[in-house]
Amino acid sequence: MGVEKNGHSFECVVVDLNTQYEFCDRSGARRVANYAELVPALRDVVAWTKRYEMPMIASIESHRPDEFKGSAPDVGCVDGSVGQQKMDFTLFGVHERIEVDNTLVCSSDPFSSCQQIIFRKRGDDLLCNPKADRLFNVLHTREFVLFGVAVERSIKALALGLLAREKPVTIVVDACGFWSEATADLTLRQLVAKGARLITTEELKARKLQRQRRFSSARRTQDTAGNGNGRNGRAHHNGAPVQNGAPLRKRYSPQQ
């Protein structure tokens, strides 16, 4: 691929949406219905991303303690809570956390110094964070590969936003969590109709890419105007058609 306006382009950019304990762990107050099958798939996508040194944009759903006064107790992902934290294996050794605010102050090429950028988000749509919106707009890539939580909300919102911007979108279906299987299947059908492509983790793992080799091997993290993971900046290690009306998620299950 050729060099673009910001000096670099990528074969793909992987997007990790809300892989947090609140959604993906057995003890999570808002765990997705398919969390048991989801976690191994999440590990596969993260491992593939690290293996080929592809850049990753991640989001952390984050709510203020007083945001849900009078609401149900399972709202989850409250700032500083255990459930809000990203699952340890989804955190890269070299990453940068970027706070949500109303400014556009964000490097046009943040991957010059780290492999993973983590945005805090206050609602379903990551693109409501103006810094994230700017980054997605200036990045040059053949495709954005989406996975995480949840199909009905954050994945749908981001996929539609990127497709409206004429960005290529691929969704790793078995690495996506959902609360309602029926709603998730309908959502995936809608996204395919809009131009999204669906693949499985097995298909992703079969891809052989040229490594980027542009990220520092130093084990460090950097916070920008706040900590998006509730961990004080520490690094932790640990396009297919619908066929015969079959649910898309099942149609792309690796077991079939």
Among 94, 100, 136, CA closest to 222: 94
- CATH class assigned to 13-65+76-219+234-251: alpha beta
Whether the predicted pLDDT of 114 surpasses 80? yes
Provide mean pLDDT across the span 109-138.
87
Provide mean pLDDT across the span 1-26.
77
Predicted structure pTM score? 0.80
pLDDT tens-digit map of 198-249? 999 999 999 988 876 566 543 444 444 343 443 333 333 333 433 334 555 5
CA atoms within 13 A on the CB side of 254: 16
Please tell me the predicted confidence (pLDDT) of residue 70.
55
Give dist(CA 250, CA 243) in Å, integer.
11
Whether the predicted pLDDT of 5 surpasses 90? no
**pLDDT bracket for residue 83 (50, 70, 90):** low
Q: What are the DSSP E strand ranges found in 62-148?
A: 94-98, 116-121, 144-148
Give dist(CA 187, CA 166) in Å, integer.
19
Provide mean pLDDT across the span 63-80.
59
Higher pLDDT, 252 or 118: 118
CB-CB contact of 173 with 199 (8 Å): yes
The dihedral through the CA atoms of 137, 138, 139, 143 has a sign that is positive
Provide mean pLDDT across the span 90-98.
88
**pLDDT bracket for residue 169 (50, 70, 90):** very high
Burial level of 255, CB count in 10 A (0-12/13-18/19+)?
exposed
Whether the predicted pLDDT of 88 surpasses 60? yes
**pLDDT bracket for residue 29 (50, 70, 90):** confident
Please tell me the predicted confidence (pLDDT) of residue 51.
94
Whether the predicted pLDDT of 50 surpasses 50? yes
Instruction: Give ∠ CA 13-17-20 in degrees, rounded to 5.
Output: 135
Please tell me the predicted confidence (pLDDT) of residue 182.
97
**pLDDT bracket for residue 80 (50, 70, 90):** low
Whether the predicted pLDDT of 37 surpasses 70? yes
Lowest mean pLDDT among 34-43, 60-69, 88-97: 60-69
Provide mean pLDDT across the span 47-61.
94
**pLDDT bracket for residue 55 (50, 70, 90):** very high
Provide mean pLDDT across the span 89-101.
84
Please tell me the predicted confidence (pLDDT) of residue 4.
43
The backbone torsions φ and ψ at residue 87, rounded to the nearest 5 degrees and listed phi first, read: -60, 140
